[in-house]
A and B are shown apart, each in its own frame.
Chain A
Amino acid sequence: MVKEGALIITCDDEPDIRESVRDVLIDEGFRVVTAENGQDLLDKLRTTKPDLILLDILMPGLVTKEILSEMKKRKIKVPIIFLTVVRLAEQSKEILGDNVVDYIEKPFDNRDLVKRVRKALG
């Protein structure tokens, strides 16, 4: 049962993509916090307990691996969906598991995004 008003952090360095993801999710009644990059995300995780994280895996700054290991260190167990602009590289698939539950290719279909988010929230 998906709880309405679940808290989602969407992290992307492209402001317009970040905003668009937020818009689509808010339209569906989710609560959304945005993060500009990996460091921002890790900072926000100190004060925010999200139900799901949408993470762009091609960001400057911290590499996805570093974000995941830091989360693991801090024992943050939140499901993660990767957002990727390239046809998913093999490396991204390898990261699946642990908390990473799914990946969505950009540009995405809004309905598909919502469907997957709901599924991840389970």
Chain B
Amino acid sequence: MKINPKRNKYPSEKKFVENTESILQGISKNLKSAMIYQALRLADGTRKFTYLSASVKSLYGVTPKQAIANPSLIYNQVYKEDRKKLFEEEEKANKNLSTLKIRVRMIAPDGKIRWSSFISFPTKLPNGVTRWDGIERDVTDVKEEENKIESEMAKSKMYLDLAGVILIALDSGGRITLLNKRGCEILKCKKDEYLGKSWFDNFVPKEDRIRTKKTFKKIVSGKIEGVEYYHNCIVSKNGEKRLIAWHNTTLKDKDGKIIGTLSSGEDITKQKKTEEELQNYKTHLEELIKERTSALTESEKKYRLLYETSADALMTLEPPNWNFTSVNSATLKMFGFKNKKEFLSVSPWDISPEKQFDGKISKIKAKEMIKRALEKGNNFFEWVHRRKSGENFMATVLLNKIKLGGKDIVQATVRDISKEKEIADKLASQEKFLSSILENIPDMIFVKEAKDLRFQLFNAAGEQLLGTKREKMIGKNDYDFFPKEQADFFTKKDKEVLNSGHLLDIYEEPIDTPKGRRFLHTKKIPIWDLTGKPAYLLGISEDITERKQAEEAKSQFFSNISHELRTPITPLRAQLQRLLNKQLSVEEMKDSFNMMMRNVVRLDRLIQDILEMTRIQAGRFNIIKKRQDFNEIIQHALEDISSIAKNKNIQIIFESKSLPSLYFDRDRILEVLINFLDNAIKYGGKNIKIKTEVKNSELILSVSDDGQGISKEDLNNLFKPFFRAQQNIIQQIEGTGLGLAISKEIIESHDGRIWVESELGKGSIFYFSLPLSNTNK
């Protein structure tokens, strides 16, 4: 092919001529507001105008000469945001050598905004230069009109979309020309997806397609009038069937020719379903009612029977006065009425005493109770009722609110609980009685759970014995309170009882309590449950500590007695044997008899002591008081003891004072004094002092010594019968353990006091006091 190099050089020459023609047309159309221009775009992207028509003045307010000299005078008037768009489009057209068509906004130097339309044609020149031939028109008016239409359209589109109904326009061929947002939702399709496609082939169920198409054809051909309202099914894109209620109109052009249809539709699938369900439900209900009615008839018969045969009094009460309106036979029997008619004439408060057990007036309280039943639906309470005979009885009342004939009435069930109440009261008092026995028993009583041996019950004696409140004991076991060794023992015994099922008698078990070690005599007894298994362990423990101590003291006493008796008998027997078997001189015999005499006296005193103690224990202890001089017995005691004191090199000091005479048993008080002095000597006193003083209408006598003294522990027990100080036992000091016990009895039977002050290693002071006002009572 022969190529015209000239043409090649200017490839768009022809086009330019054509374009120029069209430009001229444009000019002819709107010359005033159009500007013709020619510009060059250089390889480096700079632009310059080579021609500008005169209308540049009216558009830009500059002369062509000025604009050619300074192109930015034009470009700078392009709206800033649109300038970028303009250059981009220009760049694109430059590259493709395509026509640039663009609308941009311009800002005139006076601030006015106008719309300009550019149409420009590129021509490639050598050296990367492009020549642009173009026309610019002021299209502000056109743009405004367009905007108005656009906004109107957007509005109607919005209305269509906002409409809760489906809107579909079909052309005469049954193709979709409009489908709003709601329609898309129902049909599950995208906006515009089906525009121009057949409505019937896409959204009408297959089985309906032929029929509906035929009808549609008849409508659009004007052969028949469309049915304004009808229901039919559609199939959405995902195959879901929906029931739509349609409203149709035909669309006609201005000549009255039918060009299509417009249908608005409402999805009534749910509504339809609900209607169907309602219908089903109604049928079901009717059946149910039928069933129930027959059951009710049956049940009413039963109820009647129950009502009449019930042991509880049943009645109904009706507003406004809450009179009885029905009543069963049991009611008549309970309240002692002859017939129903008689009962129905009384009010609830007529069959109650004037006041209830809480002191409230029955009539007021009854109304309150009814009110509460109406509020809550029911009300259960205890009530004192009165029989016709006037006898009051305790009852429970259950009031139920029931609806009868559209109004709230009350049905009452009254149960006579006077017998139950009586039994309950009896039980309660019996329980109280039993628990008071339990609480007052001086022995510890406890109950443990068989399964874990935890304390379940604990009585007052137990609390006292262990010095622990029962709240702290219950739920715990032996290991929580006692040394392991003891807890092991208790647990072993508990298990023995539970395993054997027999009572176990533990004659003596030590137990450490906060009050020290105690000894218990415990009986453990298994308690069975209904199945015959041991459920609990009952323990009864007697505190035998004191008894044990007394027994030990007694056994010690007998051992002491034997020692004390043998001591005087030894010289008696030895001397008697000598007198019988040896040839003794008169002097020797005299000494021997003297010794025997002393020891016989000693024996006698010892026997007196034992007898006296026995008498004290038996409660036969006589005091014979006389008004007499007190100093006399001190003198007597000093004489009595002087030989022993002399033998032992002991000094006894007595500060004699004048004392008032007073009532006392001379021999007994002397016995006490001699006992005090005896002890002082026996326990190592070398300097003994007897002192008397009168103070607070008492005569106080004291015997102090510088002997070994008494330990703190022994001080407390010193005056107990048979008690002997620990120190004495270690040092094997003789004594019956009776002297001070007897002294105490003697002084106390004179309404006096006896006490001791002592410290181990520092001697002792024994005191007794006698009241001066003591008379011979």
Say if the beta carbon of B263 comes within 8 Å of chain A.
Answer: no
Complex interface: chain B residues within 8 A of A59 (CB): 732
Of the candidates B559, B573, B588, B682, which one forms a contact with A108 in the assembled complex, judged by CB atoms under 8 Å apart?
B573
Of the candidates A19, A27, A85, A108, which one forms a contact with B567 in the assembled complex, judged by CB atoms under 8 Å apart?
A85
Complex interface: chain A residues within 8 A of B568 (CB): 16
A63 to B599, CA, bound (A): 26
A52 to chain B, nearest CB (A): 18
A89 to chain B, nearest CB (A): 10
Complex interface: chain B residues within 8 A of A16 (CB): 568, 570-571, 595, 598-599
A62 to B132, CA, bound (A): 148
Q: Mark B640-676, 1 if CB is under 8 A from A, else 0.
A: 0000000100000000000000000000000000000
- Are the C-beta atoms of B577 and A109 separated by less than 8 Å? yes
A23 to B568, CA, bound (A): 16
Task: Answer whether A24 and B574 are a contact pair too, CB < 8 Å, given A86-B559, A86-B563, A107-B566.
Answer: yes
Complex interface: chain B residues within 8 A of A106 (CB): 566-567, 570
A106 to B575, CA, bound (A): 13
Of the candidates A15, A23, A63, A85, which one forms a contact with B578 in the assembled complex, judged by CB atoms under 8 Å apart?
A23
A107 to B730, CA, bound (A): 23
Task: Answer whether A107 and B578 are a contact pair too, CB < 8 Å, given A14-B567, A17-B567, A86-B563.
Answer: no
Q: Mark B558-584, 1 if CB is under 8 A from A, else 0.
A: 010011001111111111011001100
- Contact residues, B443-459 vs A (CB, 8 A): none
Complex interface: chain B residues within 8 A of A19 (CB): 571, 595
The interface on chain B, measured as residues whose beta carbon lies within 8 A of the other chain's beta carbons, has a size of 30
B714 to chain A, nearest CB (A): 16
Most buried by B among A20, A27, A109: A20
Complex interface: chain B residues within 8 A of A85 (CB): 563, 566-567, 570
Say if the beta carbon of B28 comes within 8 Å of chain A.
Answer: no
Of the candidates A20, A27, A63, which one forms a contact with B570 in the assembled complex, judged by CB atoms under 8 Å apart?
A20
A110 to B730, CA, bound (A): 30
Q: Mark B35-49, 1 if CB is under 8 A from A, else 0.
A: 000000000000000
Say if the beta carbon of A60 comes within 8 Å of chain B.
Answer: yes
- Are the C-beta atoms of A20 and B732 separated by less than 8 Å? no
- Are the C-beta atoms of A20 and B571 separated by less than 8 Å? yes
- Are the C-beta atoms of B575 and A58 separated by less than 8 Å? no
- Are the C-beta atoms of A20 and B595 separated by less than 8 Å? yes
A53 to chain B, nearest CB (A): 18
Say if the beta carbon of B127 comes within 8 Å of chain A.
Answer: no
Say if the beta carbon of B268 comes within 8 Å of chain A.
Answer: no
Complex interface: chain B residues within 8 A of A107 (CB): 566, 569-570, 572-574
A65 to chain B, nearest CB (A): 11
Complex interface: chain B residues within 8 A of A86 (CB): 559, 562-563, 566
Of the candidates B562, B575, B730, which one forms a contact with A63 in the assembled complex, judged by CB atoms under 8 Å apart?
B730
Complex interface: chain A residues within 8 A of B577 (CB): 24, 109-111
Most buried by B among A16, A17, A19, A63: A16
Q: Mark A9-21, 1 if CB is under 8 A from B, else 0.
A: 0000011110111
Say if the beta carbon of B733 comes within 8 Å of chain A.
Answer: yes
Say if the beta carbon of B297 comes within 8 Å of chain A.
Answer: no
A110 to B682, CA, bound (A): 29
Complex interface: chain B residues within 8 A of A27 (CB): 578, 582
Interface of B toward A, CB cutoff 8 Å: 559, 562-563, 566-575, 577-578, 581-582, 588, 592, 595, 598-599, 647, 682, 684, 730-734
Return 20 A-B CB contacts under 8 Å, by A number: A14-B567, A15-B647, A16-B568, A16-B570, A16-B595, A20-B570, A23-B575, A23-B578, A27-B578, A27-B582, A59-B732, A60-B732, A60-B734, A85-B563, A85-B566, A106-B570, A107-B569, A109-B573, A110-B574, A111-B577
Interface of A toward B, CB cutoff 8 Å: 14-17, 19-21, 23-24, 27, 58-61, 63, 85-86, 106-111
Further contacts, 16 of them, CB under 8 A, given A16-B599, A24-B578, A85-B566: A16-B598, A17-B570, A20-B570, A20-B571, A23-B588, A24-B577, A58-B563, A58-B732, A63-B730, A85-B570, A86-B563, A107-B570, A107-B572, A109-B573, A109-B577, A110-B581
